[in-house]
Amino acid sequence: MKTSSASIGLLMGLFAALAGPEARAQEALAPTTHAITWHRFDDDIAAWLTNDAPAGPPILGSPEASGIARRLNAIRQALGPAASSKPGEAWLMAQWLEASARIRPLVEPYFTRRSVAIEGGREAPELGAMEGAGGFVAIVGGEGAASRLVLRSSTGDVLRIAVRARGPSRVVVREGDFAARTLTFAMDSKTHTTWTAPRWVRAVVPVESRMAFIDVLEGEIAVTASAYRPRLSITDWSAARRDRNLQLERAEDVTGGSEGERVIAELAAIDHSGNAEVANSSLARLRAMNLPAPLRALVEMAAALSRRSPAEVPDATARAI
């Protein structure tokens, strides 16, 4: 598999897109594509990645899904021959599952709802409850460790989080240790004493910790959440390909292997753990390797997605209505 200069250019565009404000932890507008269609997209992507389909990304009848497929194609070409290895196929499938979980409908029978435990803050019964998510927990920012909410779901893959603010507020959403997105709530003098309507974001949690964090940098917010997990039925012959944990474990299972496969194993370890220390160790090993330009670009893409400083995280301003 050759890596053309055009593919490298597309990969660098991917780097910018993944680091941009549309990349992580947002709740997309309700997709017009039905849940069953996304279920079939899983099979189309898996067939393409395992070379059971014609070369080139599959034609998917959804702009959102097609965008993910184009980004996967750029990564696939950057990986070169390693993309067709078992670890390569598994890691790319895990990338598809993570990206699609941010925008696809999280509905039965394809997903099951799971509970979320929220640690920190105070209960806010005055805000009522959201169907399927429970009551809100409120917290005031600017108080160090006391300004963090921990969201845990031992069996959830993706969290759907409702965030409300009272007064000008700014928060960072983290998936594991990794800062994914900041949310800024700007208020005028007429609305700063009332709670905003819920703003929904998603967090695809690391499969090792199953945790997300809400760090409140300033202001006051209230949060509730629900978790979702793909329904992996024993009657579904293709269920394994929809198991992100299994795909990442397969991607990490590299003994020796080619240069590209070793890169894949390190990147999969970062995705699997969501842990800053694991990421720093993996990135140090990768940067010490004499990698070709496309693989170096993948490493720097991973570094951007595992950044921790709120100053480096894309900001989205929400104005109260």
Residue positions counted in the chain:
321
Give the start-to-end residue ranges of the domains of the chain.
Answer: 5-108+231-272, 111-230+310-319
Q: Contact, 184 vs 316, CB < 8 A?
A: yes
pLDDT in tens, 81-103: 999 999 999 999 999 999 999 99
Integer Cα distance of 156 and 208 in angstroms: 11
pLDDT in tens, 47-66: 999 876 556 788 888 899 99
Q: What is the mean pLDDT of residues 103-130?
A: 94
pLDDT in tens, 131-142: 888 899 999 998
Give the model's pLDDT for residue 241.
87
pTM for the model: 0.86
Per-residue tokens: 117: 């435990």
In the chain, the percentage of residues whose pLDDT exceeds 90 is 68
Q: Which helix (H) or strand (E) holds 228?
A: strand 211-230
| Residue 157 binned pLDDT confidence (cut-offs 50, 70, 90) | very high
Is residue 314 scored above 70 in pLDDT?
no
Integer Cα distance of 124 and 109 in angstroms: 32
Give the model's pLDDT for residue 170.
94
Per-residue tokens: 211: 């945790």
Give the model's pLDDT for residue 319.
33
In the chain, the percentage of residues whose pLDDT exceeds 70 is 80
Q: Across the chain, how many H-helices and E-strands are there? A: 8, 12
Q: Which CATH superfamily is domain 111-230+310-319 in?
A: Galactose-binding domain-like (2.60.120.260)
Nearest to 282 by CA among 265, 294, 297, 295: 265
- How many CA atoms does the CB half-sphere of 16 hold within 13 Å? 5
Give the model's pLDDT for residue 58.
87
pLDDT in tens, 243-291: 999 999 999 999 888 999 999 999 999 999 999 999 999 999 999 999 9
Give the model's pLDDT for residue 17.
46
Per-residue tokens: 193: 């004493």
